[in-house]
Structures are given as C-alpha cells and as structure tokens.
C-alpha cells in the first residue's frame, strides 16, 4: 500500500474542496485532494455549469423560433431547429474544459490529487481505493467537502423515465412531455428550459406557490413567464406514483393523472454526511448536516467541514468562500467572511437575485425605507425588448445603511456582485446615489431604486 503524509487532506473535489486545496497550495501547505469522480463536483459536472449551458441553448432556440413566427424590431428568420444531442455534446465540452482547467490549477498550486473513493479511518487519516491500488493518507488537518446529492421520493425512485437533475442534463432526445415534481429553483430552471425547447411541461409543487423560498413580489414575473411559455403549474399537490407514462398526483381529496414521457424529481438535495467513513468520526450534527462554527471548525479538533455538507444555503459560491477561508486559517492567517453578503440567484427567465434581507425581514428588526424601480422605465431594457421586473432596495430608516437588495428581470444575475459588494462594505443609500452608473445600462435601475428610497427618483 502506498503511503502519503501531508499537512492538509481535503476530501471532495467540488467548489468547496478544490478552492480550499488551491488556496492551501498557494500558501505553501503540503496538500492532498481526494476525489472519486471528475474534478469540479456536482456544480461543475452535473449542476450549475451544465444547467446554465442548457438554459442558454433553450433561450437561443426560443429566440430564433419566435423570430420565425413574428418579426421583432424588423428582424425575422426562418427554419429554427434543435438537435438536443448536439447541444448536450457542446455542454459536455464546456464541462470537460472547466474540469481540465481545475486540474491544471491544482497542479500549478502544487496540490497532489488522488483519484479514488476515500474512507476515513479517523480525523487524521484515510484509505483511498485508486485504479493503481490502495493508498493510505496521513494528515495533520482534515477538511471534509463531501457535498450533497439529489433527494429521491419513495413514490418516485430514480431510474428509467424518472430523472434526477443529473439525468435531465444527460438527455439526448427532447421529451414531448415532462412533469417536474418540485417547484423550487432547480425544478423551474430546468422546467422552463425544456418548455422553451418545445416540451410540454407540468410543474407539481406541494406548497401554495412555486419558488416558496422567495417572496411573492419577486416571483410574480416568473409566474407570468411560466404562463406565457405554456407551463402548467399545480400547487398544493403531491406526486403519488408513476406508471406507463402517467404521473398520479393528489390535491386535497382528489387525484389527477398527468401524461408525462419523463418525470423530473427536484425535491431538494441532502448532504453526504454519512458516507466515506464519516460515521467513524465523533462529529456533532446540525440536523442532517455537519455542525460547524463561524470558522468552519467541526466538533473534532483539527477537522473542518465546508460546502453543502455544512448546511444551507447550498450554494457553490458560499462553498468557495468557506474553502478559501479555511485554507488561510490552517496557514495561520486571521480570516472571517460576511454571511450577510451571500447572493442567491435563480436562473429562471426572468432571473431573480437576492442579497441580504427582504423588506419583511428587515422591518422585523426596526424601521426601514424600501423602494422599487421598474425596468419599464429603463432605456437599455426597452431597447432589448426585455423590460419585465424591477430592482428593490431596503435600508435602515435612520442611517440609510443598505440591508437588502433584490431584483427580478433579464440578466439580473450579473448584478449579484454589485449588490453583495454594497452590503459587504456597509454602503448607504447615499453611497449608491452618489455612484455614477453608466448610461444606458440596466445597472441604472439600482441607482434609481436607491434614489427613490431617498425620495428623489429622477426617471419615475
């Protein structure tokens, strides 16, 4: 058995793990990263990146198909076609390029990558089954970055025509009908993409409305968009079973049957907190997640945990921030990060982004001032024929410090960095009002929402 000793052992090569390993290597720490599958984890290989590639394909196809039917701004074309197999191959090329890039970055940082399934013996050592035989690793410090996986439903186990999000991203033929069980952001992102490519999509949501994690004002434009592209939505409904191309759902005391060639189950994700020998470690739990403190330390000395295995929000950028911080802490640097400034983005069409507190959350803490500015009053949005949505700013009533920013509209995901920066730096409404935003851009709406909060909007 080959034996390796190192300063830092990272188990898991997703956004949390590979970023932690790269930063540790940059800081001169002798680092080993263990990953069983492709580098990049769920986000890069079967999540964030491939889903956004598919969303782009759907948007391009719908745009051309729309122009085939009706001229827009004097532009018309003919003959829109979609080859889903070719689109998936293009998507796979992007994934491969990025995963190869992660491997190159790890090599550049001097990180030793061990490909195989890790099994922890204790908080300092692990055995890894590799293609070349077993490897034993001994480390001074352990970082657990084992990620998460899709949740299956007892009535709808994955397999065959019942798909997880990963399965949906591997289809090479467009289903003529698709039932999406779960109206959260994953379900709606993929459901809307398939609807825009031509599938007949039905969404089944157990709650009172889709996107229950976002407030109704933000989600209203998305709900309208679902209707425009022909998506049928059943709320207060639960899936009870699937057979012979028919999904059975229950709403109250009645049952209904929905024809569906494929069923996509997006009932959430669960942490991988029990495999890889984690049961051998005496780790405190927070529900199904590994319990950590503000520095990502677990209940065992010398053992850190980062990413989805540590709880909500299960976001790649949160995982990356944790990974970078932990690497610097292990290297002896004092570090912390601002939990208030973690953007949440929903890549539906229109997109939704939120950073900080909602108006209701902020009002629960004290007096606020809040204002909305619509894209309908923005020149750039009008010239792009995409004027749905708004930007909303909420601030402390007395000091004017910005507490939360939300937006819904075309391309607003790209605002997430500016919104997060404003909250992280403690910006006030006056700071944003005094910041010159280029004209004509969509970003002017953030400026105008801040002005409106101050009672002096210029273009409304």
| Domain total in the chain | 3
Question: Do residues 370 and 288 both lie within one domain?
Answer: no
Task: Choose one of 242, 268, 294: the last residue of a domain.
Answer: 268
Which residues belong to the annotated binding site for FAD?
A: 52, 146-148, 308, 314-317
Residue 66 lies in a domain: no
Model confidence at 68, pLDDT cuts 50, 70, 90, reads confident
Residue 69 lies in a domain: no
Question: Do residues 130 and 160 both lie within one domain?
Answer: no
Domain span at residue 22 reads: 2-47+87-147+272-331
Rounded Cα distance between 423 and 433, Å, is 15
Question: Do residues 155 and 262 both lie within one domain?
Answer: yes
Arithmetic mean of pLDDT, 211-236: 96
Rounded Cα distance between 369 and 134, Å, is 61
Question: Do residues 138 and 6 both lie within one domain?
Answer: yes
Which residues belong to the annotated binding site for NAD(+)?
A: 182-189, 205, 268
Residue 19 lies in a domain: yes
Query: What's CA 190's distance to the chain center, in Å?
Result: 12
Report the share of the chain in percent with pLDDT over 70.
100
- Could you read off the pLDDT of 200-221 as tens digits, one per residue? 999 999 999 999 999 999 999 9
Residue 239 lies in a domain: yes
Residue 435 lies in a domain: yes
Average pLDDT for the chain: 95
* Res. 72: pLDDT tops 90: no
Which of 296, 281, 357, 358 lies closest to 327 in space, CA to CA? 296
- Could you read off the pLDDT of 328-357 as tens digits, one per residue? 999 999 888 777 799 999 999 999 999 999
Question: Do residues 173 and 232 both lie within one domain?
Answer: yes
Which of 2, 42, 283 lies closest to 142 in space, CA to CA? 283
At 1 the pLDDT is: 77
Residue 217 lies in a domain: yes
What separation in angstroms does the CA of 459 have from each of 220, 243, 395, 450?
23, 56, 21, 12
Q: What is the CATH number of the domain that holds 255?
A: 3.50.50.60
φ/ψ of residue 343, rounded to 5: -70, 145
Question: Do residues 278 and 135 both lie within one domain?
Answer: yes
Question: Do residues 183 and 112 both lie within one domain?
Answer: no
Rounded Cα distance between 448 and 233, Å, is 34
Question: Do residues 258 and 284 both lie within one domain?
Answer: no
Arithmetic mean of pLDDT, 174-180: 98
* Structure token pair of residue 90: 């293009």
Q: What is the CATH number of the domain that holds 419?
A: 3.30.390.30
Question: Do residues 325 and 404 both lie within one domain?
Answer: no
Q: Which residues are catalytic?
A: 439
Residue 52 lies in a domain: no
Question: Do residues 369 and 220 both lie within one domain?
Answer: no
Task: Choose one of 245, 268, 291: the last residue of a domain.
Answer: 268
At 339 the pLDDT is: 79
- Could you read off the pLDDT of 375-424 as tens digits, one per residue? 999 999 999 999 999 999 999 999 999 999 999 999 999 999 999 999 99
pTM of the model: 0.94
Residue 62 lies in a domain: no
Question: Do residues 276 and 263 both lie within one domain?
Answer: no
Task: Choose one of 252, 268, 284: the last residue of a domain.
Answer: 268
What separation in angstroms does the CA of 251 have from each of 206, 234, 240, 271, 378?
9, 9, 10, 30, 42
Question: Do residues 318 and 444 both lie within one domain?
Answer: no
């Amino acid at each position: 058995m080959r034996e390796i000793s190192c300063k830092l052992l990272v188990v898991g090569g997703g956004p949390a793990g590979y970023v932690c390993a790269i930063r540790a290597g940059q800081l001169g720490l002798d680092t080993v990263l263990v990953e069983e599958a492709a580098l990049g984890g769920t986000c890069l290989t079967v999540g964030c990146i491939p889903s956004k590639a598919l969303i782009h394909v759907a948007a391009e196809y719908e745009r051309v198909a729309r122009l085939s039917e009706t001229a827009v701004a004097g532009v018309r074309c003919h003959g829109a076609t979609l080859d889903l197999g070719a689109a998936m191959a293009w998507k796979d090329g992007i994934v491969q390029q990025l995963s190869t890039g992660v491997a190159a970055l790890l090599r550049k940082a001097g990180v030793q990558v061990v490909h195989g399934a890790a099994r922890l013996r204790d908080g300092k050592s692990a055995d890894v089954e590799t293609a070349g035989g077993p490897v034993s690793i001994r480390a001074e410090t352990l970082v657990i970055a084992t990620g998460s996986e899709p949740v299956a439903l007892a009535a709808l186990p994955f397999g065959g025509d019942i798909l997880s999000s990963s399965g949906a991203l591997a289809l090479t033929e467009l289903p003529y009908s698709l039932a999406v069980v779960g109206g959260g952001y994953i379900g709606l992102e993929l459901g809307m993409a398939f609807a825009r490519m031509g599938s007949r999509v039905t969404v089944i949501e157990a709650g009172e409305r889709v996107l229950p994690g976002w407030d109704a004002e933000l989600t209203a434009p998305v709900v309208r968009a679902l209707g425009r592209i022909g998506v049928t939505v059943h709320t207060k409904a639960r899936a009870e079973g699937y057979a012979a191309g028919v999904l059975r759902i229950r709403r109250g005391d009645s049952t209904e049957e929905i024809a569906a060639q494929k069923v996509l189950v997006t009932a959430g994700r669960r942490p991988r907190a029990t495999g890889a020998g984690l049961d051998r470690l005496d780790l405190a739990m927070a529900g199904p997640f590994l319990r950590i403190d503000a520095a990502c330390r677990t209940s065992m000395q010398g053992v850190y945990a980062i990413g989805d295995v540590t709880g909500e929000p299960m976001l790649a950028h949160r995982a990356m921030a944790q990974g970078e911080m932990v690497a610097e802490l292990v290297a002896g640097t004092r570090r912390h990060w601002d939990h208030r400034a973690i953007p949440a983005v929903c890549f539906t069409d229109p997109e939704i982004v939120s950073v900080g507190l909602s108006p209701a959350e902020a009002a629960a803490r004290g007096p606020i001032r809040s204002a909305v500015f619509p894209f309908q009053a923005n020149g750039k949005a009008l010239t792009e024929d995409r004027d749905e949505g708004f930007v909303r700013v909420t601030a402390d009533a007395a000091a004017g410090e910005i507490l939360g920013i939300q937006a819904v509209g075309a391309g607003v995901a790209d605002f997430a960095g500016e919104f997060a920066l404003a909250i992280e730096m403690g910006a006030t409404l006056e700071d944003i009002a005094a910041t010159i935003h280029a004209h004509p851009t969509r970003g002017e709406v953030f400026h105008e929402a801040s002005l409106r909060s101050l009672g002096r909007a210029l273009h409304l």
